[in-house]
Chains A and B, each alone.
Chain A
Amino acid sequence: MGYLVTLLTIISIYTILTASMDLVLGYAGMFSFVHAALYGVGAYAAALVVLKLGLGLGAAFLAALAVTVLVSLVTAVITVRLEGDYFILGTFCVANVISSVMDNWTDVTNGANGLYGIPPAQLFGWTIAPGVPFLAVTALSAAAVLWLKHRLVSAPFGICLQAVREDEAVASVLGNDVRRVRIVIFAIGGAITAVAGTLLAFYLRFLDPTTFTFAFTIFVWAALFVGGSVSTLGTVVGPAILVLFPEALRFVGLSGTHVANVQQALYGLLLVVLMMYRPQGFFGRHAMR
């Protein structure tokens, strides 16, 4: 039971991240390489507020939100002029800079040792116990994020996003400020990673800077592509598949030091095969081109 709760909590957190990636990459067509780093910024901000100021979940979340939105706005303003592959490289550079700060700004982030000793989440004076209660909070947050995302993309702004993705020139002729649309959606994506980051900080109660490197951005991409972009179902199914699939391998009896490598190799293979035979993912409505 505890095992199941763990898996569901992780899937919920990853669903929030995948939803953020779907908005930025799926709807707006921006290949962000910085998502894992933003998620890390959120997690660190939340953890620091709790550790240094002794505040609860609400304050931690607000702090994480403020910091990630600020960082993603700065990132977007710098990189938004770049197109396609250049945007990937630009965000890759930002991710590197953020990782470097996490690793080296020892006074604040405790460097490579990470942050530990984060107390259980407190909300309005109540302590949310680990296990089922925390899962409930996480799942509710994920549901809220998915609902907000659905509202956002059903609004004219969602159509505007897809127009920008499909044809920038046409979109701007129709009166959309392409740059502004991109910056806004990137900031919204950043804000959503803050939700996931805060939850992660309280879930693990320990943060390790190596969690937030490229490998994790690639994981989120994979989750999105497997589930399928531009869909709500896809953003839940993708992370679920990527989390449960390796667990299934564990039951098959594959063990030893190679498990992580076998998992990752299979993710890689899965991506190649998907791109060849089903570029829209399992539930996606937009094929990658």
Chain B
Amino acid sequence: MAVGFAIIYNTTRVFHLAHGAVLTCAAYCFYVTVAVSGLSLLVAVPITVAVAAALGCFIEFCVYAPLRRRGAGPAALMIASLGLLVLFQNLFAIVFSTDIRTVRSGGLSIFQFGALTVTSLHIVIAIVTVCVFAVLQLFLTATKQGRAIRALSDNPQLAPVVGIEVERTYLLVTAIGSGLAAVAAILLTWDLGVQPEMGFLIVFYSAVAVVVGGAGYLPGALLGAVAFGLVQQLSIWQLDSRWQNGAVFAVVLIFLALRPQGLFGSRLNVRRA
């Protein structure tokens, strides 16, 4: 999820809060295809990814692109994005009610690695994350479209000069990012179930991961997410669990104040952001 947010954010410079809406939409889509229609995973997963990508493109095409054409800047785009997030979140609440819906029933098999206890699902999540990330990195470095995305993200003024179609690349980026959100949504739904507000917090968690990892550097988002998760878990170990949220954000705040460029970002990106 964080990587999906990062790729869109780095390239389009939109603080894409509606990414949370895409995530929630994908989660509900997965819920409907699996738990309600009873389709197999092989059918449900591609449908979910396709729906998320389509919604992402729809938002990009119908809201962001016209806004950019009217000369809107990051603030206006962010507000519009926020509006979309609120809109979708409440539409889902109306349709599906605010209860948590779950896909899975029964427990998961549990493995012991010494002192570490993990469920089979968490192993799957780790493997999928690494695979998706490897494929993405390959795509960005080895293909023409991938290079176009990176060029646009590095220098939006210069990219069109060398023949990169800006709007189309934005669309492509949104599709990829939304597809990634769908993958995250599927894993989350499988693990915890789905509810309308899930998108809001998760989009902020991913934004935090991106910033901690360092904007403009994609592996940073992955490591940022890992670091964020670690702090979250470690805080439970030391403190009462009810303080978890506060402790995590206090740590992030101190981190932001001391090293705003993130773990791996450069100073340059902070100034430009």
Contacts and interface: CB of A to CB of B under 8 A. Distances in A.
Interface in B227-266: 240, 242-243, 245-250, 252-253, 256-257, 260
A90 to B, nearest CB: 5
Given A101-B246, A265-B87, A94 B72 contact: no
B160 interface: no
B246 A275 contact: no
Contacts of B90: 261-262, 264-265, 268
Contact of B250 (A82, A88, A97, A269): A97
B250 A272 contact: no
Nearest to A84: B273
B204 interface: yes
B70 interface: yes
B80 interface: yes
A84 B74 contact: yes
B84 A268 contact: yes
Given A100-B243, A258-B94, A92 B73 contact: no
B85 interface: yes
A208 interface: no
Given A275-B67, A289-B71, A90 B76 contact: no
A79 B246 CA distance: 17
A279 interface: yes
Contacts, number: 144
Given A100-B249, A276-B66, A271 B15 contact: no
B257 to A, nearest CB: 5
Contacts of A78: 253, 256-257
Interface in A242-289: 258, 261-262, 264-265, 267-272, 275-276, 279, 287-289
B75 A31 contact: yes
Contacts of A279: 70, 72, 76
Contacts of B2: none
Contacts of B248: 96
Contacts of B247: 100
A221 B91 contact: no
B21 to A, nearest CB: 9
B270 interface: yes
A261 B94 CA distance: 6
B246 A97 contact: yes
Interface residues of A, number: 44
Of the candidates A85, A94, A271, the one having the most CB atoms from chain B within 10 angstroms of its own CB is A85
B63 to A, nearest CB: 6
A83 interface: yes
Interface string B184-215: 00000000000000001000100110010000
B76 A97 contact: no
A29 B74 CA distance: 12
A244 B211 CA distance: 39
B84 A272 contact: yes
B72 A288 contact: yes
B268 to A, nearest CB: 13
A86 B250 contact: no
Interface of B: 15, 63, 66-67, 70-80, 82-91, 93-94, 200, 204, 207-208, 211, 240, 242-243, 245-250, 252-253, 256-257, 260, 270-271, 273
Smallest CB-CB A-B distances: 10 pairs: A100-B246, A271-B83, A268-B87, A268-B86, A289-B73, A265-B90, A96-B249, A272-B83, A275-B80, A93-B253
6 contacts: A79-B253, A89-B204, A96-B249, A97-B246, A225-B79, A268-B84
Interface of A: 29, 31, 78-79, 81-86, 88-90, 92-94, 96-97, 99-101, 103-104, 214, 218, 221, 225, 258, 261-262, 264-265, 267-272, 275-276, 279, 287-289
Given A86-B273, A268-B85, A271-B86, 18 more contacts: A31-B78, A78-B257, A79-B257, A85-B207, A86-B256, A89-B204, A89-B211, A92-B204, A101-B246, A104-B246, A225-B79, A264-B89, A265-B86, A265-B90, A272-B83, A279-B72, A289-B72, A289-B74
